[in-house]
Every structure is written in structure tokens, then in C-alpha cells.
Amino acid sequence: MSTLRNKVQLIGNLGQDPEVVKLDSGKNLVKFSLATNETYKNQQGEKVTETQWHNLVAWGKTAEIIEKYLTKGKEVAVEGKLTYRNYEDKSGVKRYFTEIVVTDLQMLGNKQ
């Protein structure tokens, strides 16, 4: 049961091409956004689709796979964990950031 404490699973489409960051340590970090859609009927019976955007990062072998195979619009299933960061911007305001660290992924959709 301990593996369920901080686990996120999403299926969605990439919002842009992944951004690769080469760190001084030699490691690669990949950042990308993922859109997930939820569809429901409102009180008037109309179909409504809500899109949620998620910030994702990946390291190591997972980052290499994402960099090599994924582009904007591709459908993927990801698994990872939620993380929270904060930083101070140039004007001294503290900013908070939530992202998902991807530990596993599966490419979905049609092969091209």
C-alpha cells in the first residue's frame, strides 16, 4: 500500500515539443506539458469538455525516450509523482510550482 501514497497516472496529449535541459552534471532533464480532457453533460444536457494542463518533467532514460519519440500533440500515458517547488522571481515575489515527475510512460495513438 505504501506505493500508492504519491502516485499520479494521466492519459493526454503533449501541449508542445519537449524542452531538453542539459545540466552541468551531465544529466538531461526534459520538461513538457500534458493536456487531459474530461467530458460531461451540464444541467442543460449539453456536452462540455474541460481541459486541464499539467507540467511534467523527466530524468535519465525516461527523458531520453521522451526527447527522441515525443512531439507536440502525441498521446501518452504517464505515471509519476507530484512534486512542489517554490522560487523567488526577479521582483522578489515567491512563486509556487507544481509538477509531475514522470517515472514511466507509454506511447499511445497511431504509429507514424
| Predicted confidence (pLDDT) per residue in 20-51, tens digit | 998 888 888 999 999 999 999 999 999 999 99
Q: What is the distance between the alpha carbons of residues 88 and 5, in angstroms, rounded to a whole number? A: 29
- Give the amino acid at 53: W
CATH number of the structural domain 2-107: 2.40.50.140
Q: What pLDDT does 36 receive? A: 96
CA 44 to chain CA centroid, Å, is: 33
Q: What is the distance between the alpha carbons of residues 68 and 37, in angstroms, rounded to a whole number? A: 25
pLDDT in tens, 45-68: 999 999 999 999 999 999 999 999
CA dihedral 66, 8, 40, 54 (to 10 degrees): -50
Q: What pLDDT does 18 receive? A: 96
pTM across the whole model = 0.82
Q: What pLDDT does 98 receive? A: 94
26: left (phi over 0), alpha (psi -120 to 50) or beta: left
Residue 112 in this model has a pLDDT that exceeds 60: no
- The owner of cell 512563486 is 95
Domains of the chain: which residue ranges? 2-107
Of 25, 2, 18, residue with least CA distance to 78: 18
